[in-house]
Amino acid sequence: MSNKKDILYSLQRNISERYDMPDIDLLEGIVYPDPLEKFIEVSKAVGGDALVLKPEEDINEFIKTHYPEAKTIASNLREIEVATFNPDEVEDPHSLNGTDLAIVQGEIGVAENGCVWIPQNVKHKGIYFIAEYLVIVLDKTKVVNNMHEAYRQINFGEKGFGVFISGPSKTADIEQALVVGAHGAKGVTVILK
């Protein structure tokens, strides 16, 4: 088997001219007059939904009315009283199969593409993907304009996994017809508070 030394040597041998690294900070990313509004608009455009919870609205009531059919509801967030179980208490991620709805915490919203950054903040990352529907709770003051701003702020946490999620899982592999709900969530709602 080859080793690192052989391969790095073969690269060195073939590099003749070395190019400089450009200054990324010179690139000006798009800035929106109202990033929150743009974030909501794009979240809808990518097949998801995003809305600002009014001060008088209760998040648990909201979830109950929007997901009346959800029976197994996973969340490790203290405020989510409608949760039927805490996914962090599940030993084996395979047992998460069959979850109707998961409610998780997001950290950063990105206006330009509707992405929400979620550093792994649950025991098994599988819960982000295996639940039939996903609700992401996000602080509405944490919406940035573009990915450059987002990458300046992201943190990873202990688990060593993080994901940007933009809308529900989708595919167009059959005749380019868009179908929502390929392997992951069939619907994603971002609740901004």
Partner 1 sequence: MSTKHTKAAERFLSDKQQETWHNETLWFVREKRDRMAFSLPEWEDLREMANKIKMHTITHLDKYLDQFSEKAEANGVIVHWAKDAAEHNQIVLDILHGLNAKKMVKSKSMLTEECHLNDFLISHGIDVIESDLGERILQLKGEMPSHIVLPAIHLKRQQVGELFEDKLHTEKGNSDPTYLTRAARQHLRNEFLTADVGMTGCNFGVAETGDVVVCTNEGNADMGTSMPKVHIVSMGLEKIVPTVQSLGVFTRLLARSATGQPSTTYTSHFRKPVDGGQMHYIIVDNGRSDILGNKEHIQTLKCIRCGACMNTCPVYRRSGGFSYTYFIPGPIGINLGMLRHPKEYSDNVSACSLCYSCNNVCPVKIDLADQIYRWRQNLDSYGKADPLKKTMSAGLKFLFERPGLYNFALKFAPLVNHMPHFMVYNGLNEWGKGRELPRFAKESFTSMWKSGKVKPKK
Site for partner 1 in 20-49 (CB under 8 A): 20-22, 24, 27-30, 42, 45-46
Question: Do 164 and 136 touch, CB atoms closer than 8 A?
Answer: no
Kindly give, in sequence order, each residue whose CB lies less than 8 Å from that of residue 104, ignoring residues fewer than 6 positions away: 75, 76, 77, 118, 121, 122, 127, 128, 134, 135, 136, 137
Give the footprint of partner 1 on residues 96-135 (CB under 8 A): 97, 110, 112-115, 124-126, 128-130
Q: In angstroms, what is the minimal distance from the CB of 98 to partner 1?
A: 10
Note the Cα 12 to chain centre separation in Å.
39
CB-nearer residue toward partner 1: 116 or 192: 116
Q: In angstroms, what is the minimal distance from the CB of 183 to partner 1?
A: 5
The pair of structure tokens assigned to 86 is 């805490």
Residue 16 engages partner 1 in binding (rule: CB under 8 A): yes
Three-class SS state of 50: strand
Residue 160 engages partner 1 in binding (rule: CB under 8 A): yes
Residue 81 engages partner 1 in binding (rule: CB under 8 A): no
The pair of structure tokens assigned to 102 is 């998961």
The pair of structure tokens assigned to 149 is 């701003």
CB-nearer residue toward partner 1: 15 or 68: 15
Residue 91 engages partner 1 in binding (rule: CB under 8 A): no
Q: Contact with partner 1 (CB under 8 A): which of 2, 68, 69, 141?
A: 2
Residue 87 engages partner 1 in binding (rule: CB under 8 A): no
Residue 62 engages partner 1 in binding (rule: CB under 8 A): no
Site of tokens 């080859």: 2
**How does DSSP assign 91-104, residue by residue?**
SSGGGGTT--EEEE
